[in-house]
Structure 1
């Protein structure tokens, strides 16, 4: 039986700090560019839901030490309401960002819907407190925020902390492994952590199967896949906010344990 597909568009960019040459981070254009190149037509969704993002700012919130905290919180609440209000268990939902801070609203929705797992495929861990952030951008702290690390203003919206449990999460693909303090934060958590090297050694297929096995053994209500395309090799995807030299390829490499 073919499942219905819904697309949710969340073109938020408040979680990023703009670069010197930018008017604003360009990630908010993603849904429109995908539509231009017929992504929506090929998917043929039953419905497309969209929540317009507020105007970009660089406001620094002194209380939480996170840029645009109030705007991100307000958007996350609206985002979660839109998802929950249009959620059907037998429908496959595709969520298009936007920067990684949209994970906050996604996670709040999942918390309201039940007990979910998260497969976090990203070129970074995004698991640091504001004190370790060089920019104050929530997009670099989103995994920490949804599991309860950081200021309660963001981690405990509507008293729902934590939005997802650490031990229900696989974090895969981090290529920023040279900074011991950065890596230590996630190593000391209960998250199942596979940096890029570990992911290759374990194999993509086995890692995915291990995640699915965990969701089944725990009787979770489902799972969400977060994909930040900066996990891809730079030669394939240079149009990202934080570029990295290494990353995964779309096809298998002979010298690594991967599966098509």
Structure 2
């Protein structure tokens, strides 16, 4: 497999600084060498330019840094589409989760019908009307499903980018009240940590793959490291106790690799400032390897 690595050092979508250097931390953890050891070819196109928050007005407090985030999303969508056209698998390194607006828009411009598996402690399904923070990283999945600010929803002209019925969110344990109602109203498939505790991660992931990948549909994997318990992934901007264990996360990735439908991946919210000895970035690399075919035996 030819992997095309695209760095997006974005930290405009969140309040807490530091995820912009997560891109470098993931590379430093040996991403390229370990992918090649699995037999993949790797082409790294470097980082997209992302404006610094210090040089930008935040703008509307309900959709902070809207304009620069849209500019980066447009550039990223083009880069992802170009990778797919060349037959490569785009691996997008973040940065905060607002980068998924660009990565998934790029995938949706290439494939007519896609599914999304969103592994995250949060739903990221707010709109400007429901958000308690105004941070776009908490609105991006709603925008991709056709809800929210017009500029986010209509990026690249296709609405929605993903049919809401093709979305599976896994690992959720922290939702805002308005967000919870939107998820219910739009019948998004949400698999909470309670579901995982009761049914086991294997059954949950098999159902998530069925939801997102019905009839062989191609699947975009969006992996937020805060889906894991903070004891496993301390270097994230919005940690929430009670998350996925190390083995639950790896089994999730192994099952995704086995389904053979993953067409693109983004990995987000690694914050080295809050990390310990680059442990979270190293974990991110390990999970990517599992999603791309590494197994124990």
TM-score band by shorter chain is 0.7 to 0.9
Match of 2:271 in 1: none
Matched, 1:72 2:69: yes
For 2:127 and 2:2, locate their aligned partners in 1 and report how far apart those are by CA, in whole Å. 38
Hey, what does 1:246 align to over in structure 2?
242
Range 82-91 or range 104-113, more displaced? 82-91
**In the alignment, structure 1 residue 131 sits paired with structure 2 residue 129:** yes
Measured at CA, do residues 238 and 175 of structure 1 come closer, stay the same or move farther in structure 2, by a change above 3 Å? same
Say if 2:83 and 2:90, in contact at 8 Å, map to a contact too: no
CA 213–131 in structure 1, closer or farther in 2 if over 3 Å, else same:
closer
Q: C-alpha root-mean-square deviation of aligned residues, in Å?
A: 2.3
Structure 2 partner of 1:28: 20
Instruction: Provide structure 2 residue ranges, at least 5 long, that are not aligned to the other structure.
Output: 250-254, 256-295
Matched, 1:40 2:32: yes
Higher relative contact order (CA 8 A, sep 6+): 2
Q: Secondary structure at the match of 1:16?
A: coil
Contact 1:170–1:211 (CA under 8 A) maintained in structure 2: yes
**TM-score normalized with structure 1 length:** 0.85
2:80·2:90 contact (CA, 8 Å) conserved in 1?
Answer: no
Q: Residue 92 of structure 1 aligns with which residue? A: 89
The yes-or-no answer on 1:202 pairing with 2:199 is yes
Q: Is the Cα contact below 8 Å between 2:116 and 2:212 reproduced in 1?
A: no
Return 81-90 or 8-17, whichever deviates more.
Answer: 81-90
Could you tell which deviates more after superposition, 211-220 or 226-235? 211-220
Shift of the 216–128 alpha-carbon distance from structure 1 to 2, 3 Å rule, reads closer
Contact 1:5 1:91 in 2 (8 A): yes
List alignment gaps of at least 5 residues for structure 1: 19-24, 254-258
> How many residues are aligned here?
244
* SS of structure 2 residue aligned to 1:101: helix
